[in-house]
Amino acid sequence: MALHLSVLLIFTGLTGIHSVTTVSKVSVKAGGSISIPCLYEPEYTHHVKYLCKGYTWELCSYSVRTDQPDSSGKFSISDDKQQRIFTVTINNLMMKDSSFYYWCAVEINVREDERKFFELSVTTGWPQLFVDHQEITGFNGEDVTIHGSYSNTGEIEWCRLGRSCVKEPSGSIDGTRVTINANVSKVFTVTMSGLRTESSGWYFCTKGGLQMPVHVTVKERPSTTEPVNHTAVSAYGEPTTVQGGKHRAFIIPLSLLIFILMVASFIWFMLRRHKQTKAPASAATAVEEEVSYSAVEFKRKALVKVEAADEDVTYSTLALQ
């Protein structure tokens, strides 16, 4: 079997090993998914790409093709013609998917297809090499940090697919500073500093014969935000510093608005209190203006009966002062 595999590898190397580039071995936990990038040469930009599965190339069977999407949802494939990388994703991995060779291939038609294989190891426990996210986004001119863990031995490297690698502790890839920190046992971080738009692409960390691909997307930060550091929690429960942005332009007007509302509330309260104090005094003044005073003179009247000889009686009114 070892001899057969050696012959297979030599044969593969003579038939297009330099035309398609990918990782060699990945470890994934059962139930999870994995995305594998496959780099190809410029002359294959408009060719059909596909993933097939088999111990040998002769026994390989199609899993998914760019011209025939997989309806089961188990596999997916996309082709970035600008970066010249097609990406295959395998979902809902099970133990029966383990220890197979998968082949990233380009259909040629006039001759044998170009291809490169990778080995998939599915585990029930924690993978031997793991990163918290296969997709990560950063901003132009800033930093981005990838967190990972491992249980195997070997030197940690950070590589760009089809290009150079950086070994621990630091180095540079295409003008971007790379720092690898593995001071804590079984845990490591990779920090890419001074990101540029051209830093976008597929990278992978490698340790002890295992690789784990990571796609980095670099964007321009919106002009309304400023970069600040905030704390997040990684998949391992440890606090991590993440580059982010806050709308500083929004915070300042909000503080001003709160101050204005406080001043307006105070003025309204004082005006209301003044109005309530003034109201009783005004009412008293109004009542006082409506009352008029006058002297009252009391006169007592009496009737006096005067008898005359005759039956005629005359009454007079006498005023007593």
Q: What confidence score (pLDDT) does residue 280 get?
A: 55
Give how far Cα 233 sits from Cα of 217, 237, 239, 297, Å: 21, 6, 5, 99
Number of separate domains in the chain:
2
263 in a domain, yes or no? Answer: no
Q: How far apart are the first and last CA of the chain?
A: 153
β-sheet bridge partners, residue 103: 52, 117
Per-residue pLDDT, 3: 39
Q: Is residue 176 part of a domain?
A: yes
Partners of 50 in the β-ladder: 65, 105
DSSP state for residue 185 in the 8-state scheme: T
pLDDT of residue 282: 52
In a domain, 291, yes or no: no
Q: What is the pLDDT along the chain (321 residues), one digit of tens a residue?
A: 333 433 344 344 334 445 899 999 999 999 999 999 999 999 999 999 999 999 899 999 999 999 998 888 899 999 999 999 999 999 999 998 887 789 999 999 889 999 999 999 999 988 999 999 999 999 999 999 999 999 999 999 999 999 999 999 999 999 999 999 999 999 999 999 999 999 999 999 999 999 999 999 999 988 765 554 544 444 434 444 444 444 444 445 677 778 788 888 878 778 777 666 655 555 444 444 444 454 445 444 444 343 434 445 444 444 444
Instruction: Give CA separation, 55 vs 9, 63, 99, 121, in Å.
Output: 12, 14, 9, 14
| 196 in the same domain as 93 | no
For residues 59 and 90, state if they share a domain.
yes
Is 292 among the domain residues?
no
The DSSP letter of residue 113 is: P
**Backbone φ and ψ of 9, nearest 5°:** -65, -40
Cα(213)–Cα(223) distance, integer angstroms = 31
What tokens were used for 114? 């170009």
Residues 292 and 297: their CA atoms lie apart, in Å, by 16
Instruction: Assess whether 94 and 36 both reside in one domain.
Output: yes
Kindly give, in sequence order, each residue whose CB lies less than 8 Å from that of residue 268, ignoring residues fewer than 6 positions away. Answer: none
Same domain, 104 and 141: no
Q: Decide if 273 is inside a domain.
A: no
Q: State the DSSP H helix or E strand holding residue 204, giving kind and residue range, or none if neither.
A: strand 201-207
Domain limit, last residue, from 92, 123, 154: 123
Domain span at 46 = 2-123
Distance, CA of 21 to CA of 37 (rounded, Å): 8
Give the model's pLDDT for residue 4: 40
d(CA 135, CA 133): 5
pLDDT on residue 130: 94
Is the bond preceding 69 in cis, omega lying within 30 degrees of 0? Answer: no
Same domain, 176 and 104: no
- pLDDT score for 136: 96
- For residue 78, the model assigns a pLDDT of 96
* CATH number of the CATH domain containing 185: 2.60.40.10
The rounded radius of gyration (Å) of the Cα atoms in the chain is 46
Residues 210, 117: one domain? no
CA 206 to chain CA mean position, Å: 27
Asked whether 86 and 49 are in contact (CB, 8 A), the reply is: yes
Please report whether residue 301 resides in a domain: no
Q: Residue 175, by phi and psi: left (phi above 0), alpha (psi -120 to 50) or beta?
A: left
